[in-house]
Amino acid sequence: MRLWSTKPSSVSPWTDGLRFDPARSRHGHVESWFLKANDPLGRRAIWLRWTVWAGSGGPEHAVAEAWAIAFGTAHGHVATKTTVPFHRARFATRSIGASVDGCTLTADAAHGRVASGGRAVAYHLSIAALEGPLVHFPKPWMYESGFPRQKIVSPIPHARISGTVDVEGELWSLDGWPGMVGHNWGAGNSESYAWGHCNSWEGDEDVVFEGFSARTRAGGVLLPTSTALCLRHHATHYMLNGLSALARNHGSVSARRWRFRGRGGRVAIEGEMWADTEDFVGLFYPNPDGTVCYCLNSKLANAELTLRLEGRPPKTLRSRRAALELATRDPHHGVRMYV
């Protein structure tokens, strides 16, 4: 099996490939690639993740992890994770490519089996990209410098995922499930954030939405919330993520909900994503500085998005198959922690 895709990278190397440099990362590093796909006809979803984690004590203790969550199985959510030393994993430096404990990701496919706690999720998936990369920060220096603390990009924001998933003998057949592949990295997880993505709407609208609201620290000071919103509506892109938009957009995060709004020259976007407590899976995201980020992860979230496009009447889209992640430092968040 070829680990790295033979397709040329569609994105600058500062978005596709591994950012972790063991020779230079002396203050800690977190990095992940993830794939998610939703059943277009039901309440099921698969989420896979390949990560690098290095503490602030030195890169020799860095580890690599493979994660898998199956949402909405016949017996509830199933979450698994495996961890190996970093030197036993492989990551591409100029393209999408990861191999951790037998679990692989390329731009074309994902294969593997993740077992922990007596449970296992196995998958053999093909990835058909429908759209090129989605760059969340408008300036290359924002990916190259230490600020912002955490970088985010979607090398494949819109895809169709096919293949099989085996969750404890429950076999799923995926035939063109709407999905995506994302990549993020940095010195640590943001103090608090909300991230959302949806490309599966009621009425089968050809719309891809992704955005985030995050608070980070600079010089020990907790900065105001920054919000970026990105939309593709029937082949037209609306990117509310410029430097002025990051300050002008608005986002608010509560225990189970993310609300957002933004306005550009030809578009206004307003909406929210939310999920019930039982539709979240709690994940421990430790930071290199010893703090812990609690990620509340749902791929069965609700979404409502109102679009006001220049020259068109307002349109409201709805979905029950959105991706929503909320991060908090509060251990009393009320969501069951899985892995």
Contact 250, 262 (CB under 8 A): yes
Rounded to the nearest integer, the mean pLDDT of the chain is 91
> Across-strand partners of 46?
37, 70
Q: What is the pLDDT of residues 65-118, one digit of tens each?
A: 999 999 999 999 999 999 999 999 999 998 999 999 999 999 999 999 999 999
Domain contains 9: no
| Domain count for the chain | 1
Domain contains 302: yes
Structure confidence at residue 4 (pLDDT)? 34
Q: In which domain, by residue range, is 24 found?
A: 15-328
Domain contains 313: yes
Average pLDDT over residues 301-315: 95
Give the pLDDT band (50/70/90) at residue 268: very high
Domain contains 334: no
Report CA dihedral (246, 235, 308, 259) to the nearest 10 degrees.
-50
Domain contains 3: no
Domain contains 10: no
Q: What is the pLDDT of residues 129-153, one digit of tens each?
A: 998 888 888 888 888 887 788 899 9
Beta-carbon contacts of residue 190 (< 8 Å; ≥ 6 apart): 149, 150, 214, 215, 216, 293, 327
- The distance between the two most distant Cα atoms of the chain, rounded to a whole number of Å, is 57
- CATH number of the domain at 28, please: 2.40.370.10
DSSP state of 290: S
Domain contains 208: yes
Domain contains 58: yes
Name the pTM for this structure: 0.93
